[in-house]
Chain A
């Protein structure tokens, strides 16, 4: 469904991605792991059109979207939840949610559906998003991405700065959405252990190159790889 072919992206003078090829199928979670600076965020930014690749292609549902505009890529059903819980703090919880569905109002989910998935958000619907806790913000940005009923979800470090209990909760929700909604999920994480706990596949990036692309079991079993690139 989502296919990256030989994706190469420069970040200023630095080559952040070198010939990355990954494909993600519907109803599956692919975890992209690696240290800070491995190119994980650049990978997602390249897919959603925020950064243009120097070479390679991104295709979505068989269509080449490498040069498409950011807004058009989202409108095709490829949602990107950015790092740092990209909620808009000045807007209320409900406004953030409504914003997620404005480009396809006819088919978008109603806020009530999202509140059913994340009951904690409903109590805070009229509050500005700055007042939310870290975990609630993460739920809001995932919920907001789901409003448009996307077919694929790009998640950038959803565990960042969250307590282990909340991380586990978010991870199991992500897996739940992949299973129940048939989403193709590309999950970028530094927290390799928790990402692999819900992933169908794990890709390890190092200095912009794919150094491993395997099942979670095999990644976890490869002690050298774990030591070298995943830090545990």
Chain B
């Protein structure tokens, strides 16, 4: 029973991290119809930056802020410099550009920081809570992870729902030509969308780094899980991405706990294949509504 509770809580924590990655992917997909395969590498880079800032300042908060700031900047930069020129090219072009960026960033990180994994400090204790004499693995840092992701998702929801920037972002994403005809600076909205996405990804990087350790390729698995979660949620829907991520987090946690951790990456891909076979539009499709 304790084992089940531990697995469930750990599923919620990893689900939260997947949710942040999935949100990053969904934001970009909605805005520019591109799967950002470089997302894992981008959040790897911002996490290295956070690590360097934490080491030199000794402050986790400043390091976290550095990750957010560099995420915003990196996202905007990638959209402006790499994606904008291929915006009107066939869809595959942008995908290849993203894969190219992934390769460049991974190699760059290897050259600058080396391939040896480094420790990354958690924000809070990773010693589990004692609840009524029972020791669980869920720790204060896990609470922090879940709360941060809930906050980010909440802020994004409020931004998109209730601000005029959000209205313009949605308009640009749903119908860029009509938005343009209404005076919306669509290009700028795409840049903002990429920046917000990369910021969300940067958060995921910092949150997951203490448990995966910092190395150029160590974020690939959460990129895959984030992608599966986004597809589960229908790729177009931010709430869908969050729910998809939670389901996936729980499923993978149970697989890891009861069937062995080696099976986890395969299980993620099995979930992806099954979802695509049974419900190609994801669990929360919005596309059918769009075609009316």
> A: which residues have CB within 8 A of B?
48, 50, 70-71, 74-75, 79-80, 82, 86-91, 95, 98-100, 102-104, 130, 144, 148
Contacts and interface: CB of A to CB of B under 8 A. Distances in A.
12 contacts: A50-B180, A89-B174, A90-B286, A90-B290, A98-B164, A98-B167, A100-B182, A102-B164, A102-B167, A102-B183, A102-B184, A103-B182
Given A70-B180, A98-B167, 18 more contacts: A50-B177, A50-B181, A70-B181, A74-B182, A80-B181, A82-B177, A82-B181, A86-B178, A87-B178, A89-B292, A91-B167, A91-B170, A100-B182, A102-B164, A103-B183, A104-B183, A144-B182, A148-B182
Contacts of A95: 167, 170
B181 A99 contact: no
Residue in A71, A86, A91 with the greatest tally of chain B CB atoms within 10 Å: A71
A79 B178 CA distance: 11
**Chain B binding surface, main DSSP class:** helix
Given A98-B164, A99-B184, A103-B184, A88 B179 contact: yes
A3 to B, nearest CB: 21
Interface string B157-200: 00000001001101100110111111111100000000000000
| Chain A to chain B: the 7 pairs with minimum beta-carbon distance, closest first | A103-B183, A74-B183, A86-B178, A70-B180, A90-B174, A130-B292, A80-B181
A144 B182 CA distance: 9
B174 A102 contact: no
B180 A71 contact: yes
A71 B185 CA distance: 6
Contacts of A87: 178
Contacts of A82: 177-178, 181
A71 B170 CA distance: 17
B179 A99 contact: yes
Contacts of A100: 182
A80 B177 CA distance: 11
A102 B170 contact: no
Interface of B: 164, 167-168, 170-171, 174-175, 177-186, 286, 289-290, 292
Given A71-B183, A74-B183, A99 B177 contact: no
Contacts of B181: 48, 50, 70, 74, 79-80, 82, 86
Nearest to A98: B167
A130 B183 contact: no
A149 to B, nearest CB: 12
A48 B183 CA distance: 11
Contacts of B186: 71
Contacts of A99: 167-168, 171, 179, 182, 184
A34 B22 CA distance: 49
Contacts of B290: 89-90, 130
Contacts of A86: 175, 177-178, 181
A182 B185 CA distance: 28
Nearest to B188: A71
Residue in B170, B171, B183, B286 with the greatest tally of chain A CB atoms within 10 Å: B183
Contact of A71 (B164, B174, B184, B292): B184
Contacts of B183: 71, 74-75, 102-104, 148
A50 B183 CA distance: 12
